[in-house]
Amino acid sequence: MKPFSLLIKPASADCNLRCEYCFYIDHLEKIKNTPRMSNEVLEKMISGYMQTDQDNNYAFGWQGGEPMIMGLKFFQKVIELQKYYAPPGAVISNGLQTNGTFITQDFAQFFGHYKFLLGVSLDGPANMHDFYRKTIGQKSTHNLVLQGIERLIQNKVEFNILILVNNQNVKKAKDIFLFLKEKGFYYHQYIPCVEFDEDYNPKSFSITGEEWGEFLCNLFDEWKKEDINKISIRHFDSILEYLVHGSYNVCYMGDSCCQYFVVEYNGNIYPCDFFVQEDLLLGNIFDDTWENIITSPIYHKFGQNKSIFNMKCKSCSYIDLCNGDCLKFRIGKPQSSRTLSVLCNGWKKFYTYALPQLKIIADKIKNGNKLISSTQIKSKKVERNSLCPCGSGEKYKNCCIR
């Protein structure tokens, strides 16, 4: 069985915020009761996953909505069950994506003790972040997020900053980068905000391909000045991973969407969190085995759509860097995997500008130049019981295994 990871939504789309651009919140309308993963579903999911052949590496990602709305006791139960069902010598990693407003001291201590990797949403300075990221009562959240991050730092919790690039901050790449740098946040993930209405027209908060390309070029200019060896930006890391090792570590670059499974609060399983929809329901953890799920014709047809791209892609110089881009961005009427990504022009603009310079950096990595980026850490052949090369002092198996 091909190894896979789980992206788990224990509270489904439920959240204490109401970000206007959230693509998942509409799922709440389809749920009659408050969505919460029961201990029965949790145990069945963990025990079943631990029985699969994953080369003894088990990766759990907790997402929402807002997963921390489940409370600390839920995640304590997670650890209890992971310990109980883990096969001998298993390496277990837990990642959690959060809006940052529920990070108490107790939660931060827990995450630090059990080596959770957190992704914390922060769209830049307060004026950019608070434009969309408000509570249900329309209150600002920027200060709450910064307080939560400070607790993570105090408890030595590893975290990345997740920035959704939307119509309000897409012209502010330099400002966002310098703000995060000043705060000492050195691991960034920039995510393009592109959502469509039922007529396939972009919603007001979305960005265009041209804007995305310009944003990435401006971001690259700031990064390359003096922070190549200091700040990790996931897009740049992923390109370097491909240039150095010929491998993909993000799904939008690969040629298949068979990457992971989404597990909803009730045990339903889907192939991608952008495509949690009835026609792509793969099964339920109580009714189906993981062996049957991973061999599902629906799953493999969905995965193969990634490589069924527009004919123009075949002659593109950058096809190996996107393979047609994420299916989510191939929007048209009728919707088809052969539709060009709405971000295509932006990717081309960025690759034309930055790829020659990234190739120089890749050559330096091949020649032993050390970078702080996750790409450079992953590229090293490190024994799991040796100290992690990130300098944390922790053993590698407990630290930078992602």
Residues serving a catalytic function are 273
Rounded distance, CA 308 to CA 41, Å? 36
Peptide bond into 334 cis (omega under 30): yes
Q: Where are the beta strands (DSSP E) in 208-259?
A: 232-233
Assess contact for 98 and 152: CB atoms under 8 A. no
CA distances from residue 251 to 48, 141, 248, 264, 359 in whole angstroms, order as listed: 24, 30, 7, 20, 21
Q: Supply 285's token pair.
A: 């953890």
Q: Supply 145's token pair.
A: 């997020």
Sign of CA dihedral 154, 395, 9, 208: positive
* Coarse DSSP helix, strand, coil percentages of the chain, rounded to the nearest 5 percent: 45, 15, 45
Q: Supply 349's token pair.
A: 């603009």
CB atoms within 10 A of CB 136: 9
Q: In what order do the strands lie in the sheet with 283-284?
A: 232-233, 187-192, 158-165, 117-121, 91-98, 57-62, 5-9, 260-264, 268-270, 283-284
**Residues with Cβ within 8 Å of residue 192, at least 6 apart in sequence:** 165, 207, 212, 329, 343, 346
Rounded distance, CA 394 to CA 384, Å? 11
- Nearest CA to 200 out of 24, 342, 343, 332 is that of 332
**Torsion over CA of 141, 144, 145 and 147, rounded to 10 degrees?**
160
Rounded distance, CA 87 to CA 234, Å? 32
Any idea which residue has 């390359």 for tokens?
A: 224
Q: Where are the beta strands (DSSP E) in 193-237?
A: 232-233
